[in-house]
Structure 1
Amino acid sequence: MLACLFITLGFKNTVKIGNAYGIVVVFVMCLTSAYLVLVMIILWKTHILFIFAYILIIGSVELAYLSSILYKLGEGGYLPLAFALYLMSVMYTWNYVHRRKYHYETEHKVSIEEVREIVASTSFQRLPGVALFYSELAHAVPPIFKHYVANIPALHSVLVFVSVRSMPVSKVPIKEQFHFRRVQPTDLPVFTCMVHFGYDDVLREEEVFEDVLVVKLRQFLWEYYGIDVVLANGNEVDEAWSDGIIHFMAEHELEAEEGASIFRRIFIHSYKVLKIALVASFSICLNKKCLE
């Protein structure tokens, strides 16, 4: 409401406001058509001739319409473009720092040999239950695990490193939602899990994420290792499941390295501000229960 008031006071007449609104409408039309082309290519797998026909017919009309109002940019039409540039800078900052964080996790991931040594070590106290470590690494052990064992000399009966990915499709078939791998040798109760969800996928009301994950883990043991491994490890998984499930989520503290450019420092500080704003605005919800 305050933004509308400031815009009205700044423009002082409806002509400039109308120009800004007209620019927005036409740009939205053009962007919608452009995104529809992407949908036709990626999701619908439309024949290339139909795509070219759509671009020639619809695109030519909308570009002609757009070119006819570009002269209004200096008469109020610059306002929506300024808003768009601001939002693009916010999204680019978030994406840039997020990618840098992912590269850091990739470069500092824990090797399989280190995991074997840690799990096989007798210096750790064994705790009942299943431990789920969440990260963005696909079928890899994140740095949080090494940090965890360095500060807490205890390991749970079963360890699962989970990465949840949102796919650019509406629904992912149930059989393809959970992908497990086992850390060798097979006598170690350590697994990695990739979870794929579409943007329309939701768990049913009676389902709980960790329960579904454990069921899929038992199915994985049955399909890939046979009845002997299921009898030996399936019981271990069931016992750990009944003892409880613990969730571990990493919280990264980002800092600019020494000698970093001023632009990189601005990106990191802007990312921190955005993250604080998001944390303050939203509660973290897990299995439809908000953790305040």
Structure 2
Amino acid sequence: MKNNNSEAQPQKSSTAGLALLALGIVYGDIGTSPLYAVKETFGPSHGIALETANILGGLSTIFWSLMIVVTFKYVMLIMRANNKGEGGIMALLALASSAVKDQPRWRKSILALGVVGASLFYGDAVLTPAISVLSAVEGLEVGTAAFKHYVIPIAVIVLVTLFMFQRHGTAVVGAFFGPICVLWFLALGAVGIHHIVQNPVVLQAVDPLHALRFATGHGFASFVVLGAVLLAFTGAEALYADMGHFGKRAVRLAWFGLVLPALVLNYFGQGALLIANPQAIDNPFYLAYPGWALYLMIALATAATVIASQATISGAYSITRQAIQLGYLPRMNIQHTSAKEIGQIYLPAVNWILLAAVLAAVTGFGSSSRLASAYGVSVMGTMLITTLLTFFVIRFGWGFSLLLAGIATGFFFLVDLAFFSASLLKVLDGGWFPLVMGAAVFTLMVTWRRGREILLTRLRQTSVPLDTFLDSLMRHPPVRVPGTAVFLTSTQGAVPHALLHNLAHNKVLHERVIFLTVVIKDVPWVPAKERIHIKDLGNNCFQLTVDFGFKDRPDVMQALELCREHELEFQPLQTSFFLSRETVIPSIHYEGMALWRERLFSMLARNASSPVEYFNLPANRVIELGTQIEI
């Protein structure tokens, strides 16, 4: 299916080719977890001795976490809950809320859950580049202690360069993502095999009893260590979020064909090294490689972490655009950096805010170990909410019984809850950072959403029904001038304020009048043949509704070209667009939000990007007429 839109849907390609591309985009984050997961799992601070039985238990816990959370939950179950092929927390939110549209009680709770999950994602988008790049550069300390004071400056330079490059898009370097990641995963697996051969006892870790004993045999320390084990599967959400780019088959092929074997071999290899040399706990990843390969691996790891960071940054752009389309954030300047590649967008505001937060995390925490304490809260919070939303999709969307829906998601919910609870123990050690970020984003989202609802209610209260107004107007019609006037309005069926102002000031009405309403549907894509809806209001006046999906580019000019098929043709040089720009005035006279939230909403509204750019309207054919609205 292809949209008549400047941003086409993904083109079909071979499954193997798509799987290669998916290695960088989908598995960049989880693929760099070996840099720090084993080190943190067996860290001395947990008080668990580095004995063979404990190492086998820790490896078994990591192995079965990968199998349960990633393979069984995401690859086998969650990826089935797709919104017309698209995944991600916002796509799942739209799917779940649509499934319970006839049950307002559930719908409100689901919307709140989805917004919390999306808010926590931004914490992940900040911490992934910070911990990934910093852990890669920390390998320099293994080669010589002289590099210790240069680790943070080098990491900062890498990150600043990465974020500055965003405005150019990733279409050029994207072709190198797959091959670099293939080399990375092969290097992970090769060194793992080398150490496993020397100490094959680690293969016993596939026995889940080792994981059970490790998770229950050390008292409270067993619970605490779960907060480190979860680092092994951070990035699993990307499996679902990027599914629409490559398809389920390609994502699954890459996971089972290369990523999972490479990760397991590397984790087991690091465990074999620790059995042979417990002192290697200082940095088991880099110490697993021979001295001659150290700097090559540092370079490869840095490239892999940049790719992982790129995938997360692109994900932040994507989820922000979806949130804007679904009405949870104000309009922002969105730049499309590629005419061919799907999802190649750049949001300057998001980019620089992310960079500032990432640099604050790197310089503030100072090491990957300290960042690891902050990492798990946002990751597990999003995963927990994904599981809950999936329950509603299975129960109400797919129509399965409560028992089956509970069985399908209940076990995963308990696993997620255990890891999430363990991550909360790290709140004072850094876990507060993503929680504060998430709370800030959540406040922005719910304030904007609620503010828009109040604003639209106030507009409806002060508006005149369109049908009644036109009937009255046409009894004594004003002078009709040549051309077409398009009035953009969000309140369908009500008279746009811009029309009232135009009549009051200019005393004329165009020969043809179009009342245009843009509607964002709860689906990722709306095909061209279903996009346009026209209602003849008489006297050469028309109600035009244009539907877009939350991943479509809302290009009004291209949508108007589709009207030719409905015998409504537009001549660009004879068409004028009238916009109503509302200036929001916070007030205590109306029931709404707290005054500070009204002021926040007013500030967001003032700084929202122009609808001219957002809807791709010709700037020289647009007339904006303002009005003040108290909320």
Structure-1 residue corresponding to 2:563: 213
Q: Deviations over 1:231-255 (max 9, x none)?
A: xxxxxx66x8587222112100111
Show the counterpart of 1:98. 452
Report deviation, 1:38. Answer: 4.6
Identify unmatched segments of 5+ residues in structure 2.
1-354, 623-631
Show structure 1 runs of 5+ residues with no match: 219-236
In structure 2, relative to structure 1, the CA distance for the partners of 1:39 and 1:284 (3 Å cut) is farther
Inter-CA distance 47–289: structure 2 relative to 1 (3 Å threshold)? farther
Distance in 2 of aligned mates of 1:30 and 1:167: 26
Instruction: Give the TM-score, by structure 1 length.
Output: 0.75
2-side partners of 1:171 and 1:11: how far apart? 41
Aligned Cα RMSD in Å?
Answer: 3.4
Which runs of structure 2 are paired with 1:18-57 in the superposition (5 Å)? 18-40=372-394, 45=398, 47-48=400-401, 49-57=403-411
Contact 1:256-1:264 at 8 Å conserved across structures: no
Give the alignment partner of residue 182 of structure 1, picking from 536, 558, 562.
Answer: 536
Question: Given the superposition, is the C-alpha separation of residues 97 and 10 from structure 1 closer, same or farther in structure 2, using an over 3 Å criterion?
Answer: same
CA contact (8 A) 1:182 1:190 kept: yes
Equivalences for residues 126-145 of structure 1 within 5 A: 126-145=480-499
Q: Distance in 1 between matches of 2:361 and 2:554?
A: 44
Report the 3-state secondary structure (helix = DSSP H, G, I; strand = E; otherwise coil) of the residue aligned with 2:425: helix
**How big is each residue's C-alpha offset from its partner over 1:198-221, in whole Å with a ceiling of 9 and x where there is no partner?**
2355699xx8322323542x3xxx
Comparing 194-203 and 74-83, the one that deviates more: 194-203
Per the alignment, do residues 200 and 76 of structure 1 end up closer, same or farther by CA in structure 2, a change over 3 Å counting? closer
- 1:126, distance to aligned residue in structure 2 (A): 1.4
Q: Does 1:246 align with 2:576?
A: yes
Corresponding residue to 2:471 among 101, 116, 119: 116
Per-residue deviation, 1:165: 0.6
For the residue of structure 2 that corresponds to 1:47, the secondary structure is: coil
Pick the aligned partner of 2:441 from 71, 83, 87.
87
CA displacement 1:219-278 (0-9 Å, x = unmatched) = xxxxxxxxxxxxxxxxxx66x858722211210011123646896432232223323444
Residue 283 and residue 196 in structure 1: after superposition, are their counterparts in 2 closer, same or farther (change >3 A)?
A: closer
Mapped partners of 1:30, 1:77: distance in 2: 16
Other-structure match for 1:168: 522
Larger radius of gyration between Structure 1 and Structure 2:
2
- Aligned partners of 1:108, 1:157: CA distance in 2, in Å? 27
Return the structure number with greater helix share.
2
Task: Give the CA deviation at 1:166.
Answer: 0.8
CA contact (8 A) 1:180 1:192 kept: yes
Kept in 2, the 8 Å contact 1:108–1:142? The answer is no
Partner in structure 2 of residue 232 of structure 1? none
- Using the alignment, how far apart are the partners of 1:242 and 1:279 within structure 2? 23
Instruction: State the AA in 1 paired with 2:581.
Output: E
1:151 aligns with 2:505: yes
**Kept in 1: contact 2:454–2:592 (CA 8 A):** no
- Partner of 1:194 in structure 2? 545
Q: Give the AA of the match of 1:193.
A: L
Q: Give the equivalent residue in structure 2 for 1:272.
A: 602
SS at match of 1:130: strand
Question: CA shift at 1:158, angstroms?
Answer: 1.4
C-alpha change, 1:208 and 1:175, in structure 2 (3 Å) is: closer
Which is bigger in relative contact order (C-alpha 8 A, separation at least 6)? 2
Give the total of aligned pairs: 264
Select the structure that is richer in strand.
1
Matches of 1:273 and 1:86 in 2, distance apart? 15
- Cα distance in 2 for residues equivalent to 1:60 and 1:254: 45
Distance 1:78 1:270 in 2: 23
Give the drift of 1:51: 2.7
